[in-house]
Amino acid sequence: MSKLREEIDRRVRQGYRAEMETGESAQLVKPKRLSIMCLLISIVTLVGWIPYLGYQLLLKREASVYLTLEPDGSVASSGHRR
C-alpha cells in the first residue's frame, strides 16, 4: 500500500471524506459538525444560543486537506478551512 493511500485512510478514519484522488494527490474534506459542549453551555446560560447558532451556521467552515505524493515517496499535506 502506498504512503499516500495510508495517509488518505488515516484521514478518512479522522472524519475526512475523499472528494478527489489521483495516483499522486488527493483532496479530502472534513464536514463541519455542531459542538455538543457549546450547545449545552448555550442552553444552560440561555443567553448564548443566538451567538452559538450564528457561529455554527455562518462562521464555522469545513476543513480540507490536500495530500501530494512527493518524488522521494513522502506525503506532503496542506490544509485550510472553507
Domain edges within the chain:
3-81
Residue 51 and residue 47: Cα distance in Å, rounded? 8
Q: Taking CA 22 as the corner, what is the angle to CA 18 and CA 25, rounded to the nearest 5 degrees?
A: 75
DSSP state of 12: H
Total-model pTM? 0.53
DSSP state of 73: S
pLDDT tens, residue by residue, 6-64: 999 999 999 999 999 988 999 999 887 778 887 777 777 766 667 777 777 777 777 88
Residue 80 has pLDDT above 90, yes or no: no
Residue where the block lists cell 444552560: 44
Nearest to 4 by CA among 80, 71, 79, 82: 71
